A and B are shown apart, each in its own frame.
Chain A
């Protein structure tokens, strides 16, 4: 790497600190003294990637090994990419500024579909062959993991290995296998075969997919004896004993989530039917308050952060939340550490709690009723009632809050005009709650923000068989809401449906989309999740060039027994359970929290006493 040249271009780009590294707690090792070099790649900019908890865990976990050096790399922003291409500087890691092509393993995390073109762009910038079948000898192995890895089929052409589920144990086993293989002199394929023996490892190249004339899948089957017909995910069984970093990198620049994240638990028992996270992260496993307090203590000391956020899919469901919050307050109040509680659900947000949080710092109040009427909330199994909302916002207004954010989705299955009208009615109801509070008690300047996102049906959810609304339908619904939400104190936010449409295509996509992805990237698509970069034309042209109809993926209703592109992946939750939930949804039947009574989702197959 020509460091002078790199220095020169860094002087010419925005936010060069993104590419600098050298943050406090960055791990430094001598690359000559390790046997495996692992590049953890996040296909988005630094400030997004560095906010990601999974990366923090895996980076420090891998670096616990003395035989491996894990370094970081992010997608360079477009100005930096341009300069790098001009100056012929290959994509490099932050730690040692080593070109990515020199690594043994490059691991990408798949957090959202709209980052896929960035993966291709990063591989290209690194000079690593894009197609797995073109990689040879010295090329790194490309591994993907993260939530979108459960249906990584659209990326099947580009990746060597897919890691399913939680990485704490799997990663170590994979590195052990790699080390053995590296010394053996065996072929590239031989490593993949070794890797395939590790539970949770899926090698797309070891499976063939055939199609029916109408485009549906005819079969997915192994093309080698080395693998099973289905691959299951990995999970950590004991959250108190599994690795969690007690030092994390403290970035210089302001990142999206610039604070300590305490992960309370994994999984969620609520069973919201639209929610992929609620299904794929099962079963629920909590960390003990003692362990969390110990981690908090160490992390505050080792980072100097002034804020801790309690992180999980549904923080208010943590069984010892009150105890934990009180203890955290007690220990850190005089150290001036603030506590924030994101993703709180409406129904367990209690008044006393609001005041506890307020003691240290007032954070924004957000609620996600998701749908405008009780009928539709029952369909999606969001067990929240209008009375819950009324009670909670009233309490909040009485405690001095004056701003509330309400999140909804449009285009949910079975949605009618009445459900959309219900969104406006709820906003109105919240306004009324505010005015019903004593003038002396309430804070002036009410501000209600209503956000409506476009629903994207996701694989491994009860809605996986359902079509997404067309872009025209979404636009028409947004127009309706713009009109009905023209209310005093209410601000309405909506998203352009184009991105949601592409998400729907790729979320439930199959291997035939690989060509589309490649074309879209060649047509200039990159950073598709960033509205100023999003380029629908590049995508529509890519679909045309490859004679692929995106509507087939986004707008088609699948029948019960259709072979879905991800059926050979086992998240633990059975397809039969998902179908049963879909039928209940159609009947408007709610399914209670499975902590109250097992709903038979199938996850118990993963181990005794898990939930």
Chain B
């Protein structure tokens, strides 16, 4: 039985790395007594796969993992037991039974949206500069050294929240080729808000990034792995 689990990573645990998260989930599954399947081989590991690594320091209300169970289990029970066994700050929101042969989450997911909050910031200026630029070149560090990427190719939409000028909404590529980390986009936007003078330091303010969802394309819509349509 294959199950996709939707979970959060909240403020109080936002500094854990992807590896930390994987370990935490594995141990929570063990504590919860969930009958997870193990891989074959000399060093068997639990059958668990993650949709996308969340950068350290970023919170999220829409993370996903795929687990394979050795025996069937009711999803509400799974959710309840796992929530009981998880550290505070990671909460299971839902679970969905999927076809064993369905593609992996990692290969499926193409987009993410983020809510970026910068206290005391007015994003107006950055956004105007963004719209007026044909391309915005940023450096991207990869395994094979640093490459340059046009930021506008990896961002679909960027907009200011209708109620709070400090808040920005980003909808962008995730995981695949040419995708950028949200921090890279935020840094570039913060720089744009400084204008071209180049003299000013980045503002001394705290910026928080929150992932609101991960999506894949289904019948022309962007939907989450639990099949909720992006609003």
Given the complex, which residues of A lie within 8 Å of B206, measured CB to CB?
A: 4, 7-8, 11
Q: Does B15 contact A (CB under 8 A)?
A: yes
> B16 near A254 (CB under 8 angstroms)?
no
Task: Write the nearest CB–CB distance from A472 to chain B, whole angstroms.
Answer: 44
Q: Does A23 contact B (CB under 8 A)?
A: yes
Q: Contacts A302-B31, A335-B30 given; 13 further ones with Cβ under 8 A?
A: A16-B56, A20-B15, A22-B12, A23-B87, A24-B27, A252-B20, A252-B87, A254-B20, A303-B27, A304-B28, A304-B30, A305-B30, A336-B38
Given the complex, which residues of B lie within 8 Å of A19, measured CB to CB?
A: 15
Query: A7-B206, A11-B57, A22-B87 given as contacts; is B26 within 8 A of A252 (CB)?
Result: no
Q: Does A17 contact B (CB under 8 A)?
A: yes
List residues of B whose CB falls within 8 A of some A CB: 12-13, 15-17, 19-21, 23-24, 26-31, 38, 44, 56-57, 85-89, 119, 206, 208
> A254 near B30 (CB under 8 angstroms)?
no
Given the complex, which residues of B lie within 8 Å of A10, measured CB to CB?
A: 15, 57
Please name 5 pairs of A and B residues whose Cβ atoms are closer than 8 Å in the assembled complex, sorted by A.
A10-B57, A17-B56, A252-B16, A304-B29, A336-B38
Task: Write the nearest CB–CB distance from B30 to chain A, whole angstroms.
Answer: 4
> A336 near B44 (CB under 8 angstroms)?
yes
Q: Which of B13, B31, B44, B208 contacts A252 (CB 8 A)?
A: B13
State A305–B44 Cα separation when bound (angstroms): 15
Q: Which residue of B lies closest to A7 (CB)?
A: B206
> A306 near B30 (CB under 8 angstroms)?
yes
> B28 near A20 (CB under 8 angstroms)?
no
Given the complex, which residues of A lie within 8 Å of B21, measured CB to CB?
A: 252
- List 7 A-B pairs, minimum CB-CB distance, nearest first: A304-B27, A304-B30, A304-B31, A16-B15, A252-B20, A24-B87, A252-B16
Q: Which of B20, B26, B27, B119 contacts A17 (CB 8 A)?
A: B20
> A253 near B16 (CB under 8 angstroms)?
yes
Task: Write the nearest CB–CB distance from B53 to chain A, whole angstroms.
Answer: 15
> A254 near B19 (CB under 8 angstroms)?
yes
State A409–B85 Cα separation when bound (angstroms): 46
> A252 near B88 (CB under 8 angstroms)?
no
User: Size band of the A side of the interface?
Assistant: 20 to 34
> A250 near B44 (CB under 8 angstroms)?
no
Q: Does A533 contact B (CB under 8 A)?
A: no
Task: Write the nearest CB–CB distance from B17 to chain A, whole angstroms.
Answer: 7
Given the complex, which residues of A lie within 8 Å of B15, measured CB to CB?
A: 10, 16-17, 19-20
Given the complex, which residues of B lie within 8 Å of A301, measured CB to CB?
A: 31
Given the complex, which residues of A lie within 8 Å of B57, measured CB to CB?
A: 10-11, 16
> A20 near B16 (CB under 8 angstroms)?
yes
Q: Which residue of A lies closest to B17 (CB)?
A: A17
State A250–B23 Cα separation when bound (angstroms): 10
Residue in A252, A253, A305 with the greatest tally of chain B CB atoms within 10 Å: A252
Given the complex, which residues of B lie within 8 Å of A16, measured CB to CB?
A: 15, 56-57
Given the complex, which residues of A lie within 8 Å of B28, measured CB to CB?
A: 24, 304
Task: Write the nearest CB–CB distance from B115 to chain A, whole angstroms.
Answer: 16
> B13 near A22 (CB under 8 angstroms)?
yes
State A10–B12 Cα separation when bound (angstroms): 12
State A281–B19 Cα separation when bound (angstroms): 38
State A253–B87 Cα separation when bound (angstroms): 13
Given the complex, which residues of B lie within 8 Å of A302, measured CB to CB?
A: 31
Q: Which residue of A lies closest to B10 (CB)?
A: A22
State A10–B44 Cα separation when bound (angstroms): 35
Task: Write the nearest CB–CB distance from A197 to chain B, whole angstroms.
Answer: 42
> A304 near B85 (CB under 8 angstroms)?
yes
Q: Which of B17, B85, B89, B119 contacts A22 (CB 8 A)?
A: B89
State A336–B27 Cα separation when bound (angstroms): 12
A1-40 to B contact mask, C-beta < 8 Å, 1/0? 0001001101100001101101110100000000000000
> B27 near A305 (CB under 8 angstroms)?
yes
Task: Write the nearest CB–CB distance from A306 to chain B, whole angstroms.
Answer: 7
State A606–B86 Cα separation when bound (angstroms): 45
State A254–B27 Cα separation when bound (angstroms): 13
State A16–B206 Cα separation when bound (angstroms): 16
Residue in A11, A253, A336 with the greatest tally of chain B CB atoms within 10 Å: A11
Task: Write the nearest CB–CB distance from B202 to chain A, whole angstroms.
Answer: 12
> B17 near A20 (CB under 8 angstroms)?
no
State A306–B29 Cα separation when bound (angstroms): 11
Question: Which residues in chain A, 232-264, are within 8 Å of chain B measured between CB atoms?
Answer: 250, 252-254
Q: Which residue of A lies closest to B25 (CB)?
A: A304
> B12 near A252 (CB under 8 angstroms)?
no
Task: Write the nearest CB–CB distance from A71 to chain B, whole angstroms.
Answer: 15
Query: A23-B87, A304-B85 given as contacts; is B27 within 8 A of A250 (CB)?
Result: yes
Q: Which residue of A lies closest to B32 (CB)?
A: A304
Task: Write the nearest CB–CB distance from A250 to chain B, whole angstroms.
Answer: 6
Residue in A17, A26, A254, A335 with the greatest tally of chain B CB atoms within 10 Å: A17
Task: Write the nearest CB–CB distance from B200 to chain A, whole angstroms.
Answer: 18
Given the complex, which residues of B lie within 8 Å of A305, measured CB to CB?
A: 27, 30
